[in-house]
Amino acid sequence: MDRIATDGYRLPLITAASLLLFTLAGATFYGWLAFGSSILLTLGENGLSWCF
């Protein structure tokens, strides 16, 4: 039986990419909670809410 050697850089790379995506999603969610109503009101005042 051949044993397949796994590369040692894959797990840290996947972990770092996952952490970066999780942080970006968290910042986006926080921004939406903090400024979402202002964004929608501004778009509504400018007539762009239907394009959003």
**Mean pLDDT calculated for residue range 30-39:** 92
Q: Is the pLDDT of residue 2 over 80?
A: no
Query: What DSSP assignment string belongs to 1-52?
Result: -PPPPPPTTHHHHHHHHHHHHHHHHHHHHHHHHHHHHHHHHHHHHTT-TTT-
pLDDT in the model for residue 25: 97
Domain ranges of the chain: 12-52
Q: pLDDT per residue over 4-26, tens digit each?
A: 666 678 889 999 999 999 999 99
Instruction: Compute the mean pLDDT over every residue in the chain, rounded to the nearest whole number.
Output: 84
pTM of the model: 0.62
